[in-house]
Amino acid sequence: MAWNSGTDTGSVSRLGATNGGSDKRSLFLKQFAGEVLTSFEERNIFMPLHRVRTISNGKSAQFPVTGTSSAAYHTAGDTIYGGSVNASEITVTVDDLLVSSTFVPKIDEAMNHYDVRSIYSSEMGNALSNAADKNIASIIYQAATGAGTADQEVQWTNADFAGLSNGSTGAKGKIDIATPASEGTATYTAQNIVDGIINSLMTFDKHDVTGEKYCVLSPEAYYTLMGADSTAINRDQGGNGSVAGGNVPTVGGVKILMSNHLPTADNGSVPLNESGRGATPYTGSDAFDADLKGMVFTKDAAATVKLLDLGVESEYQIERQGTLMVAKYAMGHNALRNKAAIALVA
């Protein structure tokens, strides 16, 4: 039989058409490619960069703090009575339970052609990890600029940063990398960032702040540091970064990291705390700075106490005909040593 090249297709049964409709592919399966595009996982970096303690019960943990001793020459024949060393404690209180949850109806799971539980579990875990990372970053910023803790070491003063921020007066805990006379200049260079880190190290050393130093920069500042004019990249000037590798390993011996979680805006979504501290310590005008470009700090700047570490639970609910999935943690954060952190602003 000859091939009919005409336009009459009325006798053809199109398997993809709904009730003979015009869309000949509407009933065909939208093939699942094997991957589900989830939201980008935000980078969570602050947890290993500060002190963390896990408790099995209780509402808080104590971090004892001791002062320093003194030395004096002894005169022959005099009795040595011994001097005194002051002591205090810093308490880190566990916040209320923070949860992320979702409900998956059984009928939807039956109709769906790919598994969503593992995806939802990952996304809920990411949500809580991001919340913890933002809270820790806010506490580190407050360690640099806040009102202080029960640390035996005297906190930063404005005079400590004279000529580094706010002109000759200085703004405690802050180094302005662009215009030390007045905070709020949007333009800065890679060399400004390098100088800010070096000035931070100088300030730490002038006040005998020891320990491994870390620097966390905003994405804008981090990639500015990778610019062609950067001494952090230029190997002729001792730089060890790599444009090809997309990293800036160290500046002045300080490990350089990047985060989207620097406290540049009020973290107002965090709920109130019922542990006796009043309002949550992660919000308010003292907990963020819109001009913040980075922070240089040691592990002693902040502490976290974990009562319940990050976990995920699920339960099928007969009365609702679906599965409730809950991710949760119970932990709290507080500043430890005020002189263990410096904020870089511009």
What pLDDT digit, counting tens, does each position of 151-202 carry?
A: 777 789 999 999 999 999 999 999 999 988 888 777 899 899 999 999 999 9
pLDDT tens digit sequence for 327-338: 889 999 999 888
**Quick one: pLDDT at residue 158?**
93
Q: Which helix (H) or strand (E) holds 191?
A: helix 190-206
- In angstroms, rounded to a whole number, what is the distance separating the alpha carbons of residues 256 and 267? 24
pLDDT tens digit sequence for 70-116: 888 999 999 998 888 888 888 888 888 888 899 999 999 888 888 88
Q: Estimate the share of the chain in helix, then strand, then coil, as percent rounded to the nearest 5.
A: 25, 25, 55
Query: Could you give the percent of the chain with pLDDT greater than 90?
Result: 41
- CA-to-CA separations, 78 to 72, 82, 83, 336, in angstroms, rounded: 12, 12, 14, 39
